């Protein structure tokens, strides 16, 4: 497994070594010892989540505040998605910056999203199955978000607005500037 730092502090891309033969394939999705050695971070995942989406479904940008903040290890089990993270940590040297990566069922790359980051993704294939391991439990009272089309961040979701499918809840999320003012 190859673990590489993204342009955002404490966020990493994990690329597995895939072993293929006549039976199919095998790959390691996480190795705690290697991750700690490369990242310097110890993560204890306590909750696994999975979603299924159709083409154009945009979920996010979401994060949790305070003691309920979550680090996540995310991947596309099936299909192709664009994953975007935003560093919301005011003390971070990469505060307010964002990073995007394509995650798919071919490369099997994963993205480590540290605590304090907003996270969202959009399905670019006909369907997707998206999985994420979390190091803290979901808490509705700690949930926060940023609107997908924030003017300050100017995120590129790779699809025109008329192709996006977004929940009513996500359409009501605040701007980046409103979110950091809290």
From 27, 62, 63, 119, active-site residue: 62
Whose tokens are 């500037």? That residue is: 177
H runs (alpha helix) in the chain: 32-39, 168-171, 176-180
| DSSP symbols for 75-119 | EEEESEEEEEEEE--TTSTTTT-EEEEEEETTT--EEEE-TTEEE
Round to whole Å and give the CA distance between 179 and 182: 6
Q: Is-catalytic flag, 132?
A: yes
Q: Find the catalytic residue in 63, 98, 119, 132.
A: 132
Q: Nearest CA to 150 among 124, 123, 179?
A: 179
Q: For this structure, is 63 an active site residue?
A: no
Distance CA 42, CA 47 (A): 16
Question: Cα separation of 57 and 80, whole Å?
Answer: 12
Report the catalytic residues. 62, 132
């Amino acid at each position: 497994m190859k673990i590489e730092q993204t342009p955002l502090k404490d966020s990493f891309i994990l690329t597995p070594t895939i072993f293929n033969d006549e039976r199919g394939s095998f790959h390691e999705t996480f190795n705690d010892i290697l991750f700690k050695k490369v990242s310097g971070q110890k993560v204890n995942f306590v909750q696994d989540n999975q979603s299924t989406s159709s083409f154009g479904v945009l979920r996010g940008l979401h994060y949790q505040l305070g003691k309920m903040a979550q680090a996540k290890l995310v991947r596309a089990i099936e299909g192709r998605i664009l994953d975007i993270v935003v560093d919301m940590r005011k003390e971070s040297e990469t505060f307010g910056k964002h990073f995007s990566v394509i995650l798919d069922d071919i490369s099997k790359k994963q993205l480590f999203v540290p605590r304090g980051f907003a996270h969202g993704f959009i399905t670019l294939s006909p369907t997707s199955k998206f999985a994420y391991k979390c190091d803290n439990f979901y808490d509705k009272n700690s949930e926060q978000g940023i609107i997908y089309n924030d003017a300050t961040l100017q995120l590129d979701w790779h699809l025109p607005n008329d192709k996006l499918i977004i929940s009513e809840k996500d359409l009501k999320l605040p701007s980046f500037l409103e979110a950091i003012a809290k």
